[in-house]
Chains A and B, each alone.
Chain A
Amino acid sequence: RKEVEQDPGPFNVPEGATVAFNCTYSNSASQSFFWYRQDCRKEPKLLMSVYSSGNEDGRFTAQLNRASQYISLLIRDSKLSDSATYLCVVNMRGNKLVFGAGTILRVKS
């Protein structure tokens, strides 16, 4: 089993749609969780951290479910500019971050 698993997609959605991604992780002792965004041929950039109580930033909402060992990212009112690969990142052991392979989102007009 991979340490961090994501549905690779692609998710093709129209502008204005709501889309959600899930990510599962293997280590129940993991403490920190993040979503990074990576545009085509660019470096990853932090989108948001995921807290136990959930986290909302504008159109983006992240949730953590420790019992089922997954995190989710919800994007409301999708924009063309949201098209990117979304990387699920988990702090597995100490200070080591493990990245998922990413979920591709394509928002179309």
Chain B
Amino acid sequence: EAGVAQSPRYKIIEKRQSVAFWCNPISGHATLYWYQQILGQGPKLLIQFQNNGVVDDSQLPKDRFSAERLKGVDSTLKIQPAKLEDSAVYLCASSWGVSADTQYFGPGTRLTVL
């Protein structure tokens, strides 16, 4: 079974630039999550989708971050404009249903903002 795919794996940008990350969840998984993991911290949920609807985006900085999940499959997370404090690993995860089932994580995108 193919796992969660993410791209790119690494990205270096300058502050105030824009960046986008892509995620393809495990086939059949209805729920998709985007997490931000800053060095030395645990993953922090940014947004959770069930199919193509948003379940929770309470911790998403909506003035600069946006995410979408068209057709209930792939998802993109965008940052515009980036700040230095956005440097982190952005992890995408998916699970079967809306309950807190096992979440399967992708390898993440490591973002460095200079």
Contact = CB atoms under 8 A, between A and B. Distances in A.
Interface of A: 4, 8, 32, 34, 42-46, 87, 91, 94-102
- Is chain B's interface secondary structure helix, strand, loop, or mixed overall? loop
B103 A46 contact: yes
B107 A43 contact: yes
Contacts of A8: 40
Interface residues of B, number: 21
Interface in B24-57: 31, 35, 40-45, 48, 55-56
A87 B106 contact: no
Contacts of B107: 42-43
Nearest to A44: B105
A103 to B, nearest CB: 10
B84 interface: no
